[in-house]
Structure 1
């Protein structure tokens, strides 16, 4: 799958530059352009294909929500992630009504930023995988991936700390490759059975792909690869 093309929109050049640098650090994302006004943002969207807009609301020539509203009125289904210091509920409600994928409050850490982008990437991969869903649970799973499942939703016997270790082991792999349960277990210092339980949970949640790995005699291993 090609990288997600991102337009970074923020009225502060230094902040726009920082957000662009953050974006480039997340595997699977690249910055298509940056803009500091609504007018520049619209020009950038006309000039090159963009998949996701990181949108500040406090723009000098137009409120970011008005820009989002104009995109929807034009029929554009481009995804928007609001990045703003605006904390009033009216702005949040309006953003949600306009179909934004996330509302990220400034200031934030790179870890939080990366989590939002990776959640969006998983959601996007599921949406692009098929043009039609077969059942309600598939829609529920896609939306859960986008929003991030709460820690208390983990099945009994699984804990968030070990889950983070398993995800970390998968992130350390070369893009396009995966790990077996044995390999993950060796990396995080746990048993193969434990590693497999977490990997199967991630696969069922749509956060990793699983596929048979052939190459050695005997029963093939299952390989788990990040979405």
Structure 2
């Protein structure tokens, strides 16, 4: 079971995060806390596999926590779930290494993408001792980035079929374009 701590001071939002997470199998919420000092008490006993973290909390902020985690060199995946939408907060969160950043309100589909990204990360970092570039690219090159452009100026679709990366699809399309006129139907 993947151990999760939800850090959210609004009980309704914490409940929604929990309900969304419960739609996936294999997760166990070990605690829901509303303050960073409560979070540290739990982490000092046992580091979870994932933290869902808000920015705006009483006392210390989620950004303060991220900075402390980095200073202490703790390895814990964090997904920010917050109403914060200012660029300095987003930039700091990303610089401090969050896996994803969700701005409230968000859809279940967007939450699902964040959890799927975490699951890829978790699988890669807990099940393998070594990896190859293709496997690592599946984690690092996400489908929400800019669409590659093929030579005729068209862009690839925003989403790519599961199991196929945009890079691979672009290579296939380039080969098809190069062989234009050499195919029969």
Give, in angstroms, the shift of residue 142 of structure 1: 2.5
Structure 2 Cα separation of the partners of residues 6 and 75 of structure 1 = 19
Q: Deviations over 1:94-122 (max 9, x none)?
A: 11110110011100111221121012102
Match of 1:110 in 2: 108
Partner of residue 201 from structure 1, selected from 161, 164, 170 = 164
Runs of 5+ unmatched residues, structure 1: 164-197, 206-227
State the TM-score, normalizing by the size of structure 1.
0.62
Match of 1:65 in 2: 63
User: Root-mean-square deviation (CA), in Å?
Assistant: 2.9
Match of 2:93 in 1: 95
Match of 1:81 in 2: 79
Structure 2 Cα separation of the partners of residues 120 and 51 of structure 1 = 10
Structure 2 Cα separation of the partners of residues 100 and 199 of structure 1 = 24
Residue correspondence of structure 1 range 1-227 to structure 2 within 5 A? 3-135=1-133, 137-144=134-141, 147-148=142-143, 152=147, 201=164
Structure 2 Cα separation of the partners of residues 200 and 32 of structure 1 = 32
Runs of 5+ unmatched residues, structure 2: 151-155, 169-185
Match of 2:180 in 1: none
Q: What is the aligned length?
A: 163
